[in-house]
Amino acid sequence: MTDRIFIRDLLLRGIIGIHDWEREKRQDILINIEMEADCSRAGETDRVEDTVDYRATAKEIIGLVETSEFYLVEKLAQEIAELCLGNPGVEAVRVRVEKPGAVRFSESVGVEVERRREEGRGVEHP
């Protein structure tokens, strides 16, 4: 499958980090998502019901990030991936989570994970 739906540069604020000061104040979190989904039916029908509703997905991600208090960007990336794969139309997802300015002299640091729906089951870690 080559169809991809993406959400780019979703800039949110949340509690994330292992240090005490990171647990007290919300930080910028930059998220990029690529979801593999078959978009052919939506291309024919022009109906949102026949595709992945990226607006609804983004709202769920916003809710997750704004209320979460994870220690690691790896955990946040995993939770976002599982949320995306919760949509039956999504077969695989790539999630990139970054903390801008987290390391001195760098623009950003973060992690990128890829997850795929297992045959008839939940999430597979490639």
Q: Which of 25, 59, 75, 99 is catalytic?
A: 99
Secondary structure (H, E, C), the chain: CCCEEEEEEEEEEEEECCCHHHHHCCEEEEEEEEEEECCHHHHHHCCHHHCCCHHHHHHHHHHHHHHCEECCHHHHHHHHHHHHHCCCCEEEEEEEEEEECCCCCCCEEEEEEEEEECCCCCEECC
Q: How far apart are CA 102 and CA 17, in angstroms?
A: 10
Question: Does the active-site annotation cover 99?
Answer: yes
Point out the residues that are catalytic.
Answer: 99
